[in-house]
Amino acid sequence: MQKRTLGRGLEVSAIGLGCMGMSQAYGPNPGSRDDMITVLRGAVDLGVTLFDTAEVYGPYVNEELVGEALAPVRDQVVIATKFGFRIGEDGLDSRPEHIRAVVEASLRRLRTDVIDLLYQHRVDPAVPIEDVAGTVAELIAEGKVRHLGLSEASAATIRRAHAVHPVTAVQSEYSLWTRDPEGEVLPALYELGIGFVPFSPLGRGFLTGAIDATTAFAADDMRGGLPRFTEENRAANAALIGRVTALAAAKDATPGQVALAWLLAQQPWIVPIPGTRRISRIRENLAAADLVLSPDELAELDALAAGVRGERYSAAQFSHVDR
């Protein structure tokens, strides 16, 4: 598996694994907990070294799952987790004392003595980002955390945090059909030497070609409540996936591999974290690191975003995004 470096020295596999969907958000899990442990350990065998979780996934149970699965191979992997939500309530909490409490609980659930990459899950407007970065810097000095990360943060917030303590990685949604970070965030990361970790790099499954206007989402599948996944918008966005699928066929690849290869081609410090519950999908996703797209193919794909229909979140869901 190819390797990439986030920030100042955090080496990880070129493609990581987002673990959230193993515990929530995308409808009933077809596998058991033991099945998911097998998938996580199989990912390590295939060369994945970056695993992404958070206390709020479940909540809590995803960290427990990741901790149990990776405990036997802890020295081979990088575990990223997150703080920042007031669990059980609809709100954010990045107060220093809350960060410390979350870290202690996450360490126990993850069965480790250090968190490799600790993200602020969402920017808390009630707490200066300098206080957040300073608290994580103290935890790094204490040996409980190795690297600071931010998620869904604006370029201005990233700069302020980085001035207090080096930010290793920023995580935000980025894919062929979600291009928001290109305006200000990616240029700031390039300037500051910070890595970028796109979540939902496959458009929450749409860019794999597995979803169309007729797809019925389960009641507990978050996509059913996202504007971009209304039946009307899925039908309108069919042209996008049609072009990706055609290019994939010409390259003897899958649409998902083309989408991931496009992301990897944007910058050498971008490390996408597609989520899946199946080892076959992990194997498919990792093969994207070897798929080479020509300048003309990249340019054709670049043009696709202009026709995307539907916001990625509702107005209420955007309330927790720093813009």
Task: Give the burial string for 100-113 (b: 16+ CB within 10 Å, else e).
Answer: bebbeebbebbbbe
Confidence of residue 319 (pLDDT cuts 50, 70, 90): low
pLDDT of 58 reads: 95
Q: Model-level pTM?
A: 0.96
Mean pLDDT computed over 301-318: 81
Distance CA 129, CA 103 (A): 17
Distance CA 123, CA 84 (A): 8
Mean pLDDT computed over 292-317: 87
**Which domains are delineated in the chain?**
3-320 (3.20.20.100)
**Poorest-pLDDT segment among 155-169, 187-201, 234-248, 305-319:** 305-319
Distance CA 213, CA 232 (A): 7
Distance CA 255, CA 245 (A): 5
pLDDT of 236 reads: 87
Residue 57 appears among annotated catalytic residues: yes
Distance CA 104, CA 107 (A): 5
**Poorest-pLDDT segment among 30-34, 42-46, 185-189:** 30-34
pLDDT digit string, tens, across residues 94-122: 999 999 999 999 999 999 999 999 999 99
Catalytic residue among 26, 57, 119, 174: 57
pLDDT of 317 reads: 67
Q: Residue 32: pLDDT above 80?
A: yes
**Lookup: tokens for 286:** 């990792």
Using a pLDDT cut of 90, give the percent of the chain over it. 81
Do the Cβ atoms of 270 and 198 come closer than 8 Å? Answer: yes
Do the Cβ atoms of 257 and 198 come closer than 8 Å? Answer: no
pLDDT, greater one: 317 or 138? 138
Mean pLDDT computed over 211-224: 88
pLDDT of 318 reads: 62
Mean pLDDT computed over 46-73: 98
pLDDT of 120 reads: 98
pLDDT digit string, tens, across residues 238-260: 888 999 999 999 999 999 999 99
Task: Name the average pLDDT for the chain.
Answer: 95
Helix axes 185-192, 155-164, angle to 10 degrees: 20
